[in-house]
Chain A
Amino acid sequence: MTPLQNKLYRFSLRIVGNTAEAEDVVQEVLIKMWKKRTELSAYKNLEAWCMTLTRNLSIDKLRSKHRRTSELQDGLQVVDKSVTPFQHAAYQDTLERVRRLMAELPEKQRMVMQLRDIEGMTYQEIAEALSISMEQVKVNLFRARKQIRAKLINSESYGL
């Protein structure tokens, strides 16, 4: 199992919020890579290419899911399977709360925070993966952290 594969998986998971669909996305990325294996050496930054592809496929998936669920039944609660039973035991309520806080962030802020704080990527790498400027990466990361911090302090003071 390559580390990149898991990185793509976590990235997709953050967007689609569902393990089965995140797995589908990674599979699609791998198949695309396999089909393009002869051209891959031409890409300067393979990882950024994969990240961009993962992001696009995940967003597509999310949009089609929204469309499907809204067609089926408005307000239908999509079952969140992003936490496996094993992890569920490990998750404390507080961690679950952080997960929700992060999910509430605007898409770009959430993706930047994911790639920086969970994947440990440099600003340059994040900029390439998300096709945004370095300045945008810094601004989004700053806003994401600021909001998370405020909510953590807030919930603390209310004793939640």
Chain B
Amino acid sequence: MDSNAIKILLEKYWEGTTSLEEETQLRIYFNGDQVADEFKSFQPLFQFFQLEKEQELPEDFTERVVDNLPEQKPARVYNLRWGMRIAAAIALIIALAFVIRPYLNEQPETEIVASEAGEITDAEEAYEELKMALALVSNKFSKGTDKAQTGIVSIRKATKVIK
């Protein structure tokens, strides 16, 4: 590459208007052995860029990272243990629920029977109670039929009018 082209590229470079390809051209030029004297003062810069580009991580870096990874394992085991504990606790609660459930259902029933039995002691009283209850029901029933009858009468009247 002639020095005039380099001069133009360099000017563009200082202005910050070079493309990546042009910057690569400059780097290649300055890392060659035919650098014109007028540009010599800028040669170290592009040599530096080239050298820096070649700087890499040590060969065994990835191995070392992988070696350091197992430190996470204990944490994972710990988490698993917690999971197992939680699962065991849930299983225990479910098992307990199954065992307790029959008792839970029985207890209220026995309580009700007990309280009713406590209120009504002799047969006479129980009979009276039953009669009252039945009377209440039959009363409601007859009220219902009365209502229905008046309803039917009014419907008949209405149908007669329509006819």
Interface residues of A (CB under 8 A from B): 1, 5-6, 9-10, 13, 23, 26-27, 30-31, 34, 87, 90-92, 94-95, 97-99, 102, 116-120, 122, 138, 141-142, 145-146, 148-149, 152-153, 156
Contacts and interface: CB of A to CB of B under 8 A. Distances in A.
Interface residues of B, number: 29
Contacts of B41: 152-153, 156
A146 B57 contact: no
Contact of A1 (B23, B52, B56): B56
Contacts of A10: 52-53, 55
10 contacts: A1-B56, A1-B62, A6-B56, A23-B58, A23-B61, A31-B68, A87-B55, A102-B48, A117-B49, A156-B41
Nearest to A30: B65
10 A-B pairs closest in CB distance: A94-B44, A142-B16, A156-B41, A98-B48, A6-B56, A118-B52, A98-B44, A9-B57, A141-B16, A27-B65
B13 interface: yes
Contacts of B57: 1, 5-6, 9, 23, 26
Contact of A95 (B15, B42, B47, B55): B47
Contacts of A146: 14
Interface of B: 13-16, 20, 23-24, 41-45, 47-49, 51-53, 55-59, 61-62, 64-65, 68-69
Contact of B16 (A31, A90, A119, A138): A138
B69 A31 contact: yes
Contacts of A138: 16
A102 B68 CA distance: 33
A148 B48 CA distance: 12
Contacts of B49: 117-118
A121 to B, nearest CB: 8
A42 B153 CA distance: 78
Nearest to B47: A95
Contact of B44 (A97, A120, A141): A97
A78 B27 CA distance: 32
Contacts of B68: 27, 31
Nearest to A97: B44
Nearest to A102: B48
B25 to A, nearest CB: 12
Contacts of B42: 149, 152
Contacts of B69: 31, 34
A145 B13 contact: yes
A91 B52 CA distance: 11
Contact of B45 (A87, A92, A152): A152
B58 A99 contact: no
Contacts of B24: 120
